[in-house]
Amino acid sequence: MVRREHRSVMIQEVVDNLLTNTSGLYIDATYGAGGHSTALLGCLGPKGRVIAFDCDQSIRFARTSDPRAAAGHANFRSLEWNLSCAEIYGADGIVADLGASATQLHDAQRGLSYLHPGPIDMRVDPTRSAPLSGRIMRTGLGTLHSSLRCHGFSGRTKAAASSILQIVRKARYTTTLDVATATCCLHTQGMHMAADAFRALRSMANSEPQCLRSLVRQAPAVLKPGGRLLILTFDSYGERMVRASIEHASSLVLMRTVAPTQREVASNPGARSSLLHVLRSTGNPRAVAPQYTRP
Ligand SMILES: C[S@@+](CC[C@H](N)C(=O)[O-])C[C@H]1O[C@@H](n2cnc3c(N)ncnc32)[C@H](O)[C@@H]1O
């Protein structure tokens, strides 16, 4: 299969909204193919620094002799702990580009693709926890049904849960393609349903809402007062996750949300539904949680 390279989204918008100090310290919590890290380094002065993380242990960070860059494998769920272990404090900005990269999504062996047969795994970090199939094996219909709903599946949740359970329990050698075919059959907009089911299953397999909530909770402790937290989402489920995560984040203010330009969408359809959420740390706990508005 052809390896699909990831194309970073809203690079200029990330730089424009994150960079407030060319000598500052910036954290890229989701390195992926390194597009945002590279762009940030390109705009920083000699004293600026970028520390990049990605939880996927198979990601190879770009080899660089640039003393301003450092990288390591870590889940942003433990960002504060990882930074304090390295005695890194007072960041000027953090960027988190949520979900999976195109390279991961199109690698059938990771089980994230609904177009190619692969194991029902779906972990972006295969060294942690268990493949999704194992978890589904131990799950009852009611739990899977409510879990799909919690992770934003918009289709016929009960029917989908029942088909997925049957497929996973039926035989050892079922693949992602069997799950895709079963979820496709549940709706006239078949492929759309399969994509939505896979997104929900990926969110389950990687505890996406829990990781994001954790990042948002830790951000004020990691950032300087006035420092920025940028979160890039790709669909309405991602937007809802951000909204729910910042609801009680009293030390963060939502400054703006930024959509991609038409030009970017025309050249990269993958950017179509993306949205950049720009938050600022007040440094002071406020009584009122930030108001969420869409552009
Ligand atoms: C959309 S890609 C990021 C692309 C990157 N910004 C770029 O410009 O190339 C998302 C990345 O986030 C990583 N990821 C997902 N959840 C994570 C988590 N909880 N902690 C750390 N990395 C995570 C994935 O492994 C993936 O490489």
CATH number for position 151: 1.10.150
H or E, element range at 89: none
The verdict on the CB of residue 55 being under 6 Å from ligand 1 is yes
The verdict on the CB of residue 79 being under 6 Å from ligand 1 is no
What is d(CA 9, CA 103) in angstroms, rounded to the nearest whole number?
14
pLDDT (0 to 100) of residue 251 = 93
Tokens of 217: 């909770």
The verdict on the CB of residue 101 being under 6 Å from ligand 1 is yes
Query: Within a domain: residue 191?
Result: yes
Query: Within a domain: residue 2?
Result: no
pLDDT (0 to 100) of residue 268 = 94
Asked if 22 and 89 sit in the same domain, the reply is yes
Asked if 193 and 238 sit in the same domain, the reply is no
Last residue of a domain, one of 205, 239, 259: 205
The verdict on the CB of residue 238 being under 6 Å from ligand 1 is no
The verdict on the CB of residue 30 being under 6 Å from ligand 1 is yes
Please provide the size of the chain in residues: 295
Query: Within a domain: residue 292?
Result: no
pLDDT (0 to 100) of residue 295 = 56
Last residue of a domain, one of 144, 175, 205: 205
Q: What is the pLDDT along the chain (295 residues), one digit of tens a residue?
A: 455 688 999 999 999 999 999 999 999 999 999 999 999 999 999 999 999 999 999 998 887 789 999 999 999 999 999 999 999 999 999 999 999 999 999 899 999 988 889 999 999 999 988 899 999 989 999 999 999 999 999 878 888 899 899 888 876 678 898 888 888 766 656 677 888 899 999 999 999 999 999 999 999 999 999 999 999 999 999 999 999 999 988 899 999 999 999 999 999 998 999 999 999 999 865 444 455 555 5
Distance 96 CA to ligand 1 centre (A): 7
pLDDT (0 to 100) of residue 5 = 84
Asked if 146 and 201 sit in the same domain, the reply is yes
Last residue of a domain, one of 148, 172, 205: 205
Asked if 197 and 214 sit in the same domain, the reply is no
What is d(CA 38, CA 63) in angstroms, rounded to the nearest whole number?
12
Query: Within a domain: residue 107?
Result: no
Distance 287 CA to ligand 1 centre (A): 32
Question: 45 phi and psi, to 5 degrees?
Answer: -85, -175
Asked if 83 and 215 sit in the same domain, the reply is yes
Are residues 88 and 157 in contact, defined by beta-carbon separation less than 8 angstroms? no
Distance 29 CA to ligand 1 centre (A): 7
User: Identity (one letter) of the amino acid at 20?
Assistant: T
Asked if 166 and 127 sit in the same domain, the reply is yes
Asked if 37 and 85 sit in the same domain, the reply is yes
Query: Within a domain: residue 242?
Result: yes
Asked if 193 and 216 sit in the same domain, the reply is no
Question: How many other CB atoms sit within 10 Å of the CB of residue 231?
Answer: 28
Q: Which atom of ligand 1 is nearest to the CA of 103?
A: 27
The verdict on the CB of residue 56 being under 6 Å from ligand 1 is yes
Pocket residue to mutate for ligand 1, from 7, 41, 54, most atoms within 8 A of Cβ: 54
Tokens of 172: 């050892």
Task: Report how many domains make up the chain.
Answer: 2
Distance 141 CA to ligand 1 centre (A): 31
Asked if 171 and 33 sit in the same domain, the reply is no
Query: Within a domain: residue 106?
Result: no
The verdict on the CB of residue 209 being under 6 Å from ligand 1 is no
Atom 20 of ligand 1, residue of closest alpha carbon: 75
Asked if 151 and 130 sit in the same domain, the reply is yes
Asked if 122 and 185 sit in the same domain, the reply is yes
Please give the residue range of the domain that contains residue 133.
113-205
Query: Within a domain: residue 29?
Result: yes
What is d(CA 216, CA 76) in angstroms, rounded to the nearest whole number?
10
pLDDT (0 to 100) of residue 64 = 78
Q: Which atom of ligand 1 is nearest to the CA of 9?
A: 8
Asked if 46 and 175 sit in the same domain, the reply is no
